[in-house]
Structure 1
Amino acid sequence: MKSKRVKIVIALGSNVDQEAHIQKAKKWLEATFEDMTFGTSLWTEPIGLSSDKFLNTLGVGYTNVNMERTLLAIKNIERKCGRRVAESRKGIIAVDIDLLLFDSERLHETDWNRGYVKNLLQQLGVSID
């Protein structure tokens, strides 16, 4: 039985060595998921912590595995890109990768209302309704 190919939307952000971490994360995401494309990268002010600005982007791609395995792959990519729990607790985010959409299920609902997310979703041709 062939697995169903589902659309995913992923948000990426980094507030330390931002460009290098985002590039590294994109490469791992492209190697892990099918047909990944990314929007432009945007600088944003941190939300809920005191830190340097974040560099953010969104990616759209496809997966043939369930949501749990998709989330595990994303967390593994975060670790490969240098994310550490102790540093994250101090507001040092090498890379944060959030799954915003899995098939038709929207996750991280508050992120969908952020200006840069709306902008990048539109740029990538992803419906925000």
Structure 2
Amino acid sequence: MNTHHIVISIGSNYAAEINIPAAMRLLRGSYPTICFSEPIENDPIDFPYPSGRFTNLTAHFYSTEDREEVGGKLKGIELQLGRTYTKPFDGRVAIDIDLIAWNNTILKHVDYSRPYIQSGLQELRINIQTQPDMTKESRSETFFHNKPNNWNCAQAVQKGFQDLTGMTDEAIEDEYRPKGGGRAEGGLCGALYSANRILEAKGLQPVSQEFQAHAGGITCRELKGELKFPCNNCVRLAEELVEQRLSESQAND
């Protein structure tokens, strides 16, 4: 089942102090891993009706639902909070939720270019052009829980980069078997722990911050618990972030 990365914008020019928090609460109910930028106030942009200032924010999350399902849920939240689509329209927008990007595809280029969305993307550390591809099985993921070794999350990432690290299967078994399933230091996700160790050996910075920005957390307990972020997605994300860091280092050489 494919996992999609989704970026949305949220805006309101009517009772925003009530409607924005309400929309955030409803979105969290549907997508527990969602992350929000800080709300900011803006003058209306290309809005042909009398209006006060808008409150806008950007958010992103992962879902296995298709675009139609996600769009239906977003419209349902708008209707629940009093959004009307009938004429005459008086310019009051209780809540507006737009799909901005789906995986690496920008859906609304005009909206995407607006300063408040760019600010939100920067705050959330999202670059649509270099987003981890969560829609296909990664190299590391093919090893996750595969027989006969039944590699755990930490071991699967090491297996994915075995050509780079030169570690033997025996070394991966001995060193990383005790690190999967939240048993790494501080309860860290085993896949993330393994990714950071690979980068550390190459003299590169860890990817904990980027991992948290995408998954919503870094410990196995929070990822499996409230965030409901699947273990195979952790393995996939860890590999993608290592690949990005390695690519960045080569570009800077």
- What is the TM-score normalised by the length of structure 1? 0.91
Q: Which string of whole-angstrom CA distances, capped at 9 and with x for unpartnered residues, describes residues 14-40 of structure 1?
A: 000012101011111111124001000
* 1:1-129 mapped onto 2 (5 Å cutoff): 3-47=1-45, 48-49=47-48, 50-86=50-86, 89-129=89-129
Q: Secondary structure at the match of 1:16?
A: coil
Aligned partner of 2:38: which letter?
Answer: T
Structure ranking higher in strand proportion? 1
- What is the TM-score normalised by the length of structure 2? 0.48
Q: Is 1:34–1:62's contact at 8 Å kept on the other side of the alignment?
A: no
Query: More displaced, 100-109 or 54-63?
Result: 100-109
1:88–1:115 distance in 2 versus 1, CA, 3 Å? farther
Aligned partner of 2:33: which letter?
Answer: D
In structure 2, runs of 5+ residues without a counterpart are 130-253
Root-mean-square deviation over aligned CA pairs:
1.5
User: Matched residues in 1 for 2:35 and 2:71: separation?
Assistant: 18
Aligned residues: 127
Q: Which runs of 4+ in 1 moved over 4 A?
A: none
Q: Is 1:34–1:63's contact at 8 Å kept on the other side of the alignment?
A: no
* Bigger RCO of structures 1 and 2 (CA < 8 A, at least 6 apart): 1
In structure 1, runs of 5+ residues without a counterpart are none
Q: Which string of whole-angstrom CA distances, capped at 9 and with x for unpartnered residues, describes residues 1-23 of structure 1?
A: xx311111110000000121010
- Cα drift, residue 81 of structure 1: 1.2
User: Matched residues in 2 for 1:110 and 1:34: separation?
Assistant: 28
Between the aligned residues of both structures, percent identity stands at: 29
Q: Which structure has the larger Rg over C-alpha atoms?
A: 2
